[in-house]
Structure 1
Amino acid sequence: MAARRLHFVPLLAGIAVAVLTLQLGNWQIRRADEKAVLQAEYASPERSAPHPLGTQPPAEWQVVDLRGQWLADRTILIDNRVHAGRAGFHVFTPLRLAGRGGWVLVNRGWVAAPADRAQRPAVTTPGGEVEISGRVRHPESKPFTLEGEAATEPGIVWQALDLARYRVWSSIPVADFYVQQNDPAPDSLVRDWPAPDAGIDRHRGYAFQWYAMAALAAALTLCYVWQSADIRLWRLHGRRDSR
């Protein structure tokens, strides 16, 4: 039988693959748990009951009631938002709050993009004082933007919402959160917001696949070590028997 030695390169590679895939499986499980917590917060009675906006920063997904006036000429459109298979925009307009003062940026809903991308969709903004209800959302702290857009002053079409840039562009000190409007309004915008529970089962499925790969890598590594050790023991016994 040909001599077979235990080489450290395939041994370390097998261990590395097993450890890496195990960590990836754990990461997917953590992501699933985070999504489950998010879903529970979204559906909790405390977060679903409407509250007037107070002086303290509201929690994520809290339903709030707002009253104030729109400032239509500071509306921006967030591009590349798809609804029912159609491309469009999310419409963000600042609302000047009545009574307590201050400004809140509101995602009023989705509007389809015109066939000619050089044109802008027609958005109707109700005048006078309005009352709306919606859920509090916190945008990404460092959203992805194209290099060209980040280097120049943007127009009304943006790739992502950046509250700091919006304050500079609009000269309006909006709050550190925005509100995702839920109630109907005479503006023809679509407010069919998906619940934040998509992907839990997908993350768990990915975790199972990573764990299966980790188990396979560990089994193949142990088999390699066992075969190498078995051959060495066979050779050792063969030498002793020949003496």
Structure 2
Amino acid sequence: MFIVLSTLMVFTILVKLGFWQLERAEQKQQWQAALSQRQNASVLTYEQLLAHLGNDNLTGYKLSTHVTPILQQVFLLDNQTVNGRVGYLAYQAFEVAPDKPWLLVELGFEAGSIDRSMLPNVAALTSPLALSGRVYQKQMNPMSSELMAETGSPIRIQNLNIEQLALLIDKPLLPVVLQPNNIPGDSRIHPWQPIPLSAQKHQGYAVQWFSMAGVFAVIMLFLFFRKLKQQDNHKN
């Protein structure tokens, strides 16, 4: 009886994992549709973006605003890979208006050195700018979400924890990042991956889980009938 219950439990878990992946695929399809709508929508002002706070994830909205680089400090997000190269994503926080939260701006990807003690020299923006681009909100990894800021300049961080970053600079920060497309003289890559895994990936994983459940069921049935046959042979 224990073996039968264990077999049913394993089979049920495999099937549930398959259905869970199908649910994730459907969520990603809906999310992709929402991103497409936002990319086709009109550009938001900073005030309009603020009005959307708390409603949903703001990734994909287009934004145009003026920023002032009062704090000329660059932050380097560690362990980033772009086109096979390992390095950092550089960020700088800007004031938008004295009575509004500051805005974190992505300066782009910078390749790292083999010697981790040598950080890339990323110059901070020093003049007021009119920036436009798209915003994104990174989902926190429950297994690793601490900022873990190092000393020095630029400051290397391990996770883009905007709440902790705001405490570090002692300024309120909007919980989104602007990925601009009009920084003067900008030649850095700005990777865009708002959906870590596509719906097709989740569907593929679902097929794998269902296949594993099917193979497991076939193996267990084979063993079950072989045992029955052995018992009949012993009786005879």
Which of the five TM-score ranges fits, normalised by the shorter chain?
0.7 to 0.9
TM-score, length-normalised on structure 1? Answer: 0.77
Residue 127 (structure 2) aligns with: 128
Q: Which has the higher contact order (CA 8 A, sep 6+)?
A: 1
Aligned length: 227
5 Å-filtered alignment, 1:33-48, equals 33-45=26-38, 48=41
Q: Does the 8 A contact of 2:109 with 2:189 survive in 1?
A: yes
Q: Give the whole-Å Cα distance in 1 for the aligned partners of 2:122 and 2:96.
A: 21
Corresponding residue SS for 1:207: helix
TM-score, length-normalised on structure 2? Answer: 0.79
Corresponding residue SS for 2:30: helix
Corresponding residue SS for 2:119: coil
Q: Give the whole-Å Cα distance in 1 for the aligned partners of 2:182 and 2:33.
A: 22
Corresponding residue SS for 2:187: coil
Q: Give the whole-Å Cα distance in 2 for the aligned partners of 1:211 and 1:158.
A: 40
5 Å-filtered alignment, 1:142-221, equals 144-145=143-144, 150=148, 154-155=150-151, 156-194=155-193, 196=195, 198-221=197-220
Q: Does the 8 A contact of 2:66 with 2:131 survive in 1?
A: yes
Please report the RMSD computed on the Cα atoms of aligned residues, expressed in angstroms: 3.2
> 1:17–1:227: structure 2 CA closer, same or farther, 3 Å change rule?
same
Corresponding residue SS for 1:123: coil
> 1:233–1:45: structure 2 CA closer, same or farther, 3 Å change rule?
same
Corresponding residue SS for 1:15: helix
Give the letter for the 2:60 counterpart: W
Range that drifts further, 76-85 or 39-48 = 39-48
Distance apart, 1:14 and its partner CA: 1.9
Structure whose alpha-carbon radius of gyration is higher:
1
Residue 56 (structure 1) aligns with: 51
CA offsets 1:187-231 (integer angstroms, 9 cap, x no match): 432224245375322221121121122233344555666777899
Q: Give the whole-Å Cα distance in 2 for the aligned partners of 1:158 and 1:77.
A: 6
% same residue: 23
Q: Does the 8 A contact of 1:71 with 1:93 survive in 2?
A: no
Q: Does the 8 A contact of 2:134 with 2:180 survive in 1?
A: yes
> 1:83–1:123: structure 2 CA closer, same or farther, 3 Å change rule?
same
Are residue 119 (structure 1) and residue 113 (structure 2) matched?
no
Range that drifts further, 100-109 or 169-178 = 100-109
Unaligned runs of 5+ in 1: 1-7, 239-243
Corresponding residue SS for 1:97: coil
